[in-house]
Structure 1
């Protein structure tokens, strides 16, 4: 077996306080047992196996076992509601469901299974050995397929995954992804990165896995890509302890959304701004030299002379290596997707010696459409099309627009989904014939442009675009990204449809605000919201953040609100803000900012001064 002795999945061990890794050979043994289990359950060709779980080795085991029977997996999130699980199980026709925890298993028994007649078996991954519903128990009782006689090798067009979109609006849709979709995406990204595909991910590479494999980004880009090269991954215990787990796992590669990189960026700048003058100067000089070094390495700046190399080496050891240490100390390359990564954050990561490669895609595209690569990146762009994929920017009639012109981003290639399961109408809405007259083309719903060299930039979601009273169109995403660059602001939602101007709902970054204003611990957040210095601080931050925007785009009012989380249903499981849920929840507060009706609110609102 290839890579048999290589380490694969690492899980935190509470006794040793370390990550313990299983090998590829041990994983293969588990897959053989699980295949026999699924076969005994009657899972066969075109069957559906569901799993409600965060990342863990059992997730990948169930998936591989299902694939080897020509069946498909239906992944779901632990954070979803039982009503979501019920809908997905019924819509997919799943015959078995694997639940991560005892709590989830019990809820499924009580609230889901009575309404899901196709589900014939359910198991708990956490239940102890001996429990009849424990995954470990049924695995140990399964006959191992030593000969491989049970395997039914899938063909490219076979369904591999039925991934239900998280549904920022409406019912989730089941995205049909085939074996060809997944495999072509991995190979296409590899071909776009380097001439020698083996160098994309090395056997010695390791990641810290925290992006959900239930979403195509984490599943394709991390799980299957790393496994295809014999690499390993430690499975993060959860986002709250991610910084601790980075120290334990010490990844060489990291697949993330921009939030993590922004957190480190903010942390460093908060530390720098509150540091004594000498230390502050040292940190600024180190980052400045790191930026110059990154530019020099890319051929965009002069080469360092001997003195500069020595100076950089000293500053790197004193400052930059300590920042890299926050990622575990071994990180060589970071990937970012899911949302635009601010250019300032990308430049910051470059300056500390960890290049970020931004990519772009959707669940429906397996997911990668475009990708920046280490050897050839353009900051502010999401890269160029990966191997085998063609990107089109089209107008409302589906005709390709000229380079540099804004239109809808569309793509054609082997990465495009088969369709939406049991929903031909929805499929027809997003699939058409490409401008070449023959290829199936997927409409992403994103606005963007592409230059003559094929570099793609995303400017916002078509459905999120709105018009002000004066007829001017506003695309909120880039404005929210600009405001969100403030180290005092955690999350942003812009509002203004059919209004005279924009306003903003802001989630504050209280620790940074307190340090900046020198606020004592005995002053509560509620008391602080009425401080005029705070209002001046946020006003100035928004003005500075929006200095490159058009005047009508800048919000004139703002209000602090509570964090948007999955618990309050304002974030999807993949951490996208449910814009309509936020606006519904704060409808009265938004009206108050427009002086529609006087209301009583605990939130503090501010007023933005006009920029000089």
Structure 2
């Protein structure tokens, strides 16, 4: 039987890798026969695997084709593709030639993609479908530096030929060329490796310049906190265009020699979890929150006994967790016996829906609500919350398995420093801090002060060295009375209730707090029927009795918040805020300004006459 030491024997040090392409070459050299990636092959309808040696052969073909574009080291090349082996091949080929990769979200709007292509000066673009280019090509005068578009779909199948420039070519044709693989560019670890455009909830995105060393250092620091092994398999579904997935779900496994399986889509995530049965999962809070809401809705249907058993399982599981962490007494004989009954009856059934063998689950990109964390941890899931931002490559802090305090962002990762500014803003300093914002020197100086401290924009508390994020500086709403409202905390608490799919509270410069609430269809149907109303009738959303019931429910949810933070009026909605309608960022954060603009008339109506609904 292999020991933990044996399983980590091929961990690649930063110094050995040097650069991100150096990391790939070293992994291939050390473990060419080890499975690197799994991906669903739609042509044959089954999952296929590639080892590191096979990946090296593929990357070589991509490198040969990309080198024929004769781009100078430092030139930018973009990729707008869903997660997959092709994404990895393109990036590794580009990095080996000294090019800077610009990742784009697969579902981003053509207008935003055009802006990023223009701002970055990208000269090549890899896309997944002809339709992507059909929508983007109409804006090609905005980004004149783009020379080559490479498409996974065959361009010959287009009803109307695409007129250049830029040239549009099918990947199969583009890779079908002879000749030797061009030699690797001797990049410096401090050279830019990527421009990651922040998907912020307001304003135009900024290109964050991250070096090879920024990302390698961050991945290595994470591995000190969260040991990862050859026999681990990660299921990747967050976009690789986001720094969180890129570092933890791509380079960290490469450094450790773990396998990555690419999920087919968010819609098939549940099925893919059951098929792949991952040992590690990297996700954002919304995924755990939706799973929690489904559990709660199912319990409502199953009745009092099911709910009582579930609550008991969570309670005992939580006590077991506290005891294991050294923060609670060992559970008694009766609870131990009950756990032997409840584990297979309750806990194992829920965890089986996640594949049944998760060794570790990580949540990042936004705070995870306490009820959700307590639920999954109580069921026995090793759920760790962390904190970071793109400008830090991205991780700044995290919890460890043996030292896990849910509700906190954990301790700074090894080698990172943190402190609080006078206004409570969290400042961070580490080798992972970005080189700066692309072509924005003034904004770079605002983000990174003369002492090298990155200003995160997040309000935090620190207790016993642990970080507790309390919201964004910009998300603190100041009411007309001068009272301050932690919008993020309120929205997180509301969204934990199975009735509410999404929530946005309003109160900046206002006399009281209101909320826009997107309802979960099944829970809404049950609530409407309680009032003998038709859930499909839009007028039911305006029914004052229904609204009063919702406000009462909010009062219970927000009972621990001060009186001035209580929601007095609501606008009920059924259409979710999504990537497609432009109201969510790719990491599923609500775009506050866009939502407020879209529903300006409804918000104005909530404050008409300043009459409080009671």
Same-fold call, TM cutoff 0.5: yes
Q: Deviations over 1:440-459 (max 9, x none)?
A: 111111111212x3101111
- Aligned equivalent of 1:548: 560
Q: Please state how far the C-alpha of 1:297 moved relative to its aligned partner.
A: 2.1
- Aligned equivalent of 2:485: 474
CA contact 1:208–1:254 (8 Å) conserved in 2: yes
- Aligned equivalent of 2:74: 46
582-591 vs 284-293, which moves further: 284-293
Q: Deviations over 1:483-539 (max 9, x none)?
A: 222111111111111111111111111212334665699752535435566434422
Distance 1:18 1:302 in 2: 49
540-549 vs 112-121, which moves further: 112-121
Q: Please state how far the C-alpha of 1:608 moved relative to its aligned partner.
A: 5.7
Structural mapping, 1:383-394, within 5 Å: 383-394=410-421
- Count how many residue pairs are aligned between Structure 1 and Structure 2: 575
Consecutive unaligned residues of structure 2, counting only runs of 5 or more, are 1-28, 159-167
- Aligned equivalent of 1:600: none
Distance 1:114 1:143 in 2: 34
Q: Please state how far the C-alpha of 1:464 moved relative to its aligned partner.
A: 2.3
Distance 2:254 2:345 in 1: 36
Distance 2:576 2:320 in 1: 38
CA contact 1:18–1:248 (8 Å) conserved in 2: no
Q: Please state how far the C-alpha of 1:210 moved relative to its aligned partner.
A: 1.0
- Aligned equivalent of 1:418: 435
Q: Please state how far the C-alpha of 1:345 moved relative to its aligned partner.
A: 0.8
- Aligned equivalent of 2:500: 489
SS of 1:433's partner is: coil
Q: Is it true that 1:133 corresponds to 2:133 in the alignment?
A: no
517-526 vs 385-394, which moves further: 517-526
Distance 2:96 2:245 in 1: 21
SS of 1:374's partner is: coil
Distance change >3 Å, CA 559–CA 56, structure 1 → 2: same
SS of 1:416's partner is: coil
Distance change >3 Å, CA 530–CA 466, structure 1 → 2: closer
Distance change >3 Å, CA 306–CA 221, structure 1 → 2: same
1:501 to 488, 498, 512: 512
Q: Is it true that 1:430 corresponds to 2:447 in the alignment?
A: yes
CA contact 2:373–2:406 (8 Å) conserved in 1: yes
SS of 1:417's partner is: coil
Distance 2:200 2:251 in 1: 25
Q: Please state how far the C-alpha of 1:372 moved relative to its aligned partner.
A: 1.0
Q: Please state how far the C-alpha of 1:291 moved relative to its aligned partner.
A: 2.0
Distance change >3 Å, CA 162–CA 375, structure 1 → 2: same
Q: Deviations over 1:354-401 (max 9, x none)?
A: 1221111111111101111111111211111111111121125xxxxx
- Aligned equivalent of 1:143: 179
Structural mapping, 1:314-463, within 5 Å: 314-395=341-422, 407-434=424-451, 440-451=452-463, 453-463=464-474
Q: Is it true that 1:153 corresponds to 2:186 in the alignment?
A: yes
Q: Is it true that 1:221 corresponds to 2:248 in the alignment?
A: yes
Distance 2:230 2:354 in 1: 20
Q: CA-atom RMSD, angstroms?
A: 2.3
Q: Deviations over 1:134-184 (max 9, x none)?
A: 212222325353xxx611232211110101112422221111000011011
Distance 2:221 2:613 in 1: 47
- Aligned equivalent of 1:59: 87
Distance 2:442 2:289 in 1: 39
300-309 vs 40-49, which moves further: 300-309
Distance 1:98 1:549 in 2: 48
- Aligned equivalent of 2:212: 179
- Aligned equivalent of 2:161: none
CA contact 2:528–2:534 (8 Å) conserved in 1: no
Q: Please state how far the C-alpha of 1:191 moved relative to its aligned partner.
A: 2.4
Distance 1:26 1:501 in 2: 61
SS of 2:353's partner is: helix
